């Protein structure tokens, strides 16, 4: 059974905690993980880049000079792609980059991502993270003890305002609620740190998905 180090709210290691075998000990399917990451990044693209073709730019309605006898190359419009201010050939147009993978593959991908992290000893658990008031320095100290300053995904069950404000100015910490956990964020961070209640929620959701 996979295990992860367990820390108290001061950042001191107090033991180990067992991780759900079906969630953190599954087979790592690298091809599926790649596909899901590409999908997530593609779905974030706005696809609003746009250029004008020769039919869309203004002007150029009159032939700039006669066809023959000037010694210059023949031209039909000053808005040709060959001219400054002319239309663009094969330029980008608004499009939708998003695509989907089968619904049944999504929980497999999540279990693969979490299992990959567990297999590399990049999962840790903290009993709780509660702040009476926003204190970036105090939060930084605790997380630095646990992760050593590594880029970390901090997964909590419900993020209260004090915790959000305490971590938002720490550049190497990304805070996410357990219900929004996704493959890209798991893989994009060096370590994943769960609060104990968030870990329980993740195991309940993804073990049965």
**Nearest CA-CA partner of 112 in 44, 176, 37, 40:** 37
**The tokens 């964020």 sit on which residue?**
185
User: Which backbone phi and psi does 101 adopt, to 5 degrees?
Assistant: -110, 165
Of the two residues 203 and 160, the one the predictor is more confident about is 203
How confident is the model at residue 39, as a pLDDT?
97
pLDDT per residue as tens digits for the range 95-138: 999 999 999 999 999 999 999 999 999 999 999 888 889 999 99
User: How far is C-alpha 8 from the chain's CA centre?
Assistant: 28
Q: Please state at what angle helix 30-44 crosses helix 105-119, rounded to 10 degrees.
A: 110
**The tokens 């997380």 sit on which residue?**
143
How confident is the model at residue 129, as a pLDDT?
87
pLDDT per residue as tens digits for the range 23-34: 999 999 999 999
User: How far is C-alpha 177 from the chain's CA centre?
Assistant: 14
Q: Is residue 209 scored above 80 in pLDDT?
A: no
Q: Is residue 149 scored above 90 in pLDDT?
A: no
Q: Please state at what angle helix 196-207 crosses helix 105-119, rounded to 10 degrees.
A: 140
How confident is the model at residue 93, as a pLDDT?
95
Q: Is residue 16 scored above 80 in pLDDT?
A: yes
Average pLDDT on 58-67 reads 91
How confident is the model at residue 131, as a pLDDT?
83
For 3-29+102-207, CATH number? 3.40.1370.10
Every domain of the chain and the residues it spans: 3-29+102-207
How confident is the model at residue 111, as a pLDDT?
97
């Amino acid at each position: 059974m996979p295990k992860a180090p367990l820390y108290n709210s001061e950042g001191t290691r107090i033991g180990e905690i067992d991780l759900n075998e079906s969630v953190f000990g599954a087979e790592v399917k690298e091809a599926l993980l790649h596909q899901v990451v590409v999908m997530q990044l593609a779905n974030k693209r706005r696809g609003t880049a746009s250029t004008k073709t020769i039919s869309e730019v203004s002007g150029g309605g009159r032939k700039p000079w006669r066809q023959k006898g000037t010694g210059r190359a023949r031209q039909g419009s000053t808005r040709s792609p060959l001219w400054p201010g002319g239309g663009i050939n094969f330029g980008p147009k608004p499009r939708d980059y998003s695509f989907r993978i089968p619904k049944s593959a999504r929980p497999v991908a999540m279990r693969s991502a979490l299992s990959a992290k567990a297999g590399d000893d990049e999962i840790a658990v903290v009993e709780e993270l509660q702040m009476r008031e926003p204190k970036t320095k105090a939060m930084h100290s605790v997380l630095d003890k646990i992760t050593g300053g590594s880029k970390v995904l901090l997964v909590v069950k419900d993020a209260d305002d004090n915790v959000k404000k305490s971590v938002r100015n720490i550049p190497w910490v990304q805070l996410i609620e357990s219900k929004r956990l996704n493959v890209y964020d798991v893989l994009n961070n060096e370590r994943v740190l769960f609060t104990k209640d968030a870990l329980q929620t993740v195991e309940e959701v993804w073990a049965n998905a």
